[in-house]
Chains A and B, each alone.
Chain A
Amino acid sequence: MASVLEIQNLQVSYFSREVRSRPVLSGVSFDLMPGEILGVLGESGSGKSTLAASVLRLLPPNGQVGGGAVLFEGKNLLQVSSEELRQIRGNRIALIFQEPSLALHPTIRVGEQVRRVLAAHQSSGKNDLDHRTREVFNRLFAQEADRILRSYPHQLSGGQRQRVLIAQAIACNPALVIADEPTAALDPVTQMEILRVFRDLREHLGLAMIFITHNPALLAGIADRILILYAGQVVEWGPAETALRSPKHPYTKALFESIPAGTGETEKSRKTSLPVIPGNSSPSSLPRKGCSFEPRCPVRMDVCREFEPPLVKLGQSHIVSCFKYKE
Chain B
Amino acid sequence: MMRYLLRRLAHAFFLIIGVSVLTFLFTTLAPGNYFDEMRLNPQIAPETLAALRAQYQLDQPLAIRYASWVNSVLHGEIGFSFAYNSPVAPLLLVRAKNTLLLTLTATVVAWAIALPLGVWSAERLGRLPDRVISWSTAVLLVIPDLALALGLLVLALRTGWFPAGGMASVDFKSLSSLNRIRDLARHMTLPVVALVLSTLPILVRHVRAAVADVLHAPFLLAAEGHGIPPRTLLYRYALPAAANPLVSLFGFSIGALLSGSLLIEVVMSWPGLGPFLLEAILARDIYVVIGGVLFSTIFLAAGNFLADVLLYWVDPRIRTESASR
Spell out A's residues near B (CB within 8 Å): 56, 58, 60-61, 86-91, 94-95, 97, 99, 102-109, 116-117, 120-121, 152, 154-155, 165, 168-169
A90's contact among B225, B315, B316, by CB below 8 Å, is which?
A: B225
Residues of the A chain whose Cβ atoms lie less than 8 Å from the Cβ of B223: 105, 116
Spell out B's residues near A (CB within 8 Å): 216, 218-219, 221-230, 232, 236-237, 240-241, 243, 314-317, 320
CB distance from A150 to the nearest CB of B (A): 11
In the complex the two chains form, is B317's CB within 8 Å of A106's CB?
yes
Please name the residue on chain A nearest to B318 by beta carbon: A107
Residues of the B chain whose Cβ atoms lie less than 8 Å from the Cβ of A86: 227, 229-230
Contact A106-B218, Cβ < 8 Å, known A117-B228, A120-B232: no
B226's contact among A61, A89, A155, by CB below 8 Å, is which?
A: A89
Dominant secondary structure of chain B at its interface with chain A: helix
Residues of the B chain whose Cβ atoms lie less than 8 Å from the Cβ of A94: 226
Contact A116-B219, Cβ < 8 Å, known A106-B317, A107-B316: no
What's the Cα separation between A39 and B67 when bound, in Å? 79
In the complex the two chains form, is A107's CB within 8 Å of B227's CB?
no
Residues of the B chain whose Cβ atoms lie less than 8 Å from the Cβ of A58: 221, 224-225
Residues of the A chain whose Cβ atoms lie less than 8 Å from the Cβ of B228: 90, 116-117, 120
What's the Cα separation between A58 and B243 when bound, in Å? 25
What's the Cα separation between A112 and B316 when bound, in Å? 14
In the complex the two chains form, is A154's CB within 8 Å of B320's CB?
yes
In the complex the two chains form, is A104's CB within 8 Å of B240's CB?
no
What's the Cα separation between A168 and B232 when bound, in Å? 16
What's the Cα separation between A211 and B241 when bound, in Å? 30
In the complex the two chains form, is B320's CB within 8 Å of A56's CB?
no
In the complex the two chains form, is B320's CB within 8 Å of A106's CB?
no
CB distance from A55 to the nearest CB of B (A): 10
CB distance from B125 to the nearest CB of A (A): 10
Contact A105-B226, Cβ < 8 Å, known A154-B320, A155-B320: no
Residues of the B chain whose Cβ atoms lie less than 8 Å from the Cβ of A105: 219, 223, 237, 240-241
In the complex the two chains form, is A97's CB within 8 Å of B222's CB?
yes
In the complex the two chains form, is B240's CB within 8 Å of A102's CB?
no
In the complex the two chains form, is B218's CB within 8 Å of A120's CB?
no
19 CB < 8 A contacts A-B: A56-B225, A60-B216, A60-B221, A87-B227, A89-B224, A102-B219, A102-B222, A103-B218, A103-B219, A105-B219, A105-B237, A106-B241, A107-B315, A107-B317, A117-B226, A152-B316, A152-B317, A154-B316, A165-B222
Contact A99-B218, Cβ < 8 Å, known A107-B314, A107-B315, A120-B232: yes
Please name the residue on chain B nearest to A58 by beta carbon: B225
In the complex the two chains form, is A97's CB within 8 Å of B218's CB?
yes
In the complex the two chains form, is A91's CB within 8 Å of B227's CB?
yes
What's the Cα separation between A97 and B220 when bound, in Å? 12
What's the Cα separation between A97 and B232 when bound, in Å? 20
Additional pairs, 11, CB under 8 Å, beyond known A89-B227, A107-B243 = A87-B227, A89-B224, A90-B225, A90-B226, A94-B226, A95-B226, A107-B317, A116-B226, A117-B227, A120-B228, A120-B232
In the complex the two chains form, is A61's CB within 8 Å of B229's CB?
no
Contact A120-B240, Cβ < 8 Å, known A103-B218, A104-B222, A107-B315: no
What's the Cα separation between A89 and B225 when bound, in Å? 6
In the complex the two chains form, is A121's CB within 8 Å of B219's CB?
no
Residues of the B chain whose Cβ atoms lie less than 8 Å from the Cβ of A103: 218-219, 222
Residues of the B chain whose Cβ atoms lie less than 8 Å from the Cβ of A168: 226
CB distance from B260 to the nearest CB of A (A): 31
Residues of the A chain whose Cβ atoms lie less than 8 Å from the Cβ of B227: 86-91, 117, 120-121
Contact A61-B216, Cβ < 8 Å, known A107-B314, A152-B316: yes
In the complex the two chains form, is B241's CB within 8 Å of A95's CB?
no
* Smallest CB-CB A-B distances: 7 pairs: A90-B227, A90-B226, A89-B227, A103-B222, A102-B218, A152-B316, A117-B226
What's the Cα separation between A58 and B314 when bound, in Å? 28
Residues of the B chain whose Cβ atoms lie less than 8 Å from the Cβ of A120: 226-229, 232
In the complex the two chains form, is B240's CB within 8 Å of A107's CB?
yes
Most buried by A among B226, B230, B240: B226
Residues of the B chain whose Cβ atoms lie less than 8 Å from the Cβ of A169: 226
What's the Cα separation between A56 and B222 when bound, in Å? 11
In the complex the two chains form, is A116's CB within 8 Å of B232's CB?
yes
Please name the residue on chain B nearest to A59 by beta carbon: B221
What's the Cα separation between A131 and B112 when bound, in Å? 35
B317's contact among A56, A102, A154, by CB below 8 Å, is which?
A: A154
Please name the residue on chain B nearest to A112 by beta carbon: B236
What's the Cα separation between A91 and B227 when bound, in Å? 7
CB distance from A51 to the nearest CB of B (A): 14
Residues of the B chain whose Cβ atoms lie less than 8 Å from the Cβ of A91: 227
Most buried by B among A56, A88, A107, A120: A107
Contact A108-B232, Cβ < 8 Å, known A56-B225, A120-B227: no
Residues of the B chain whose Cβ atoms lie less than 8 Å from the Cβ of A87: 227
What's the Cα separation between A102 and B223 when bound, in Å? 11
Residues of the A chain whose Cβ atoms lie less than 8 Å from the Cβ of B224: 58, 89
Contact A107-B241, Cβ < 8 Å, known A56-B225, A87-B227: yes
What's the Cα separation between A90 and B222 when bound, in Å? 10
What's the Cα separation between A108 and B317 when bound, in Å? 10
Residues of the B chain whose Cβ atoms lie less than 8 Å from the Cβ of A89: 224-227
CB distance from B192 to the nearest CB of A (A): 32
CB distance from B317 to the nearest CB of A (A): 6
CB distance from B49 to the nearest CB of A (A): 64
What's the Cα separation between A86 and B243 when bound, in Å? 26
Most buried by A among B228, B243, B320: B228
CB distance from A121 to the nearest CB of B (A): 6
What's the Cα separation between A103 and B224 when bound, in Å? 11
What's the Cα separation between A86 and B225 when bound, in Å? 8
What's the Cα separation between A89 and B216 when bound, in Å? 18
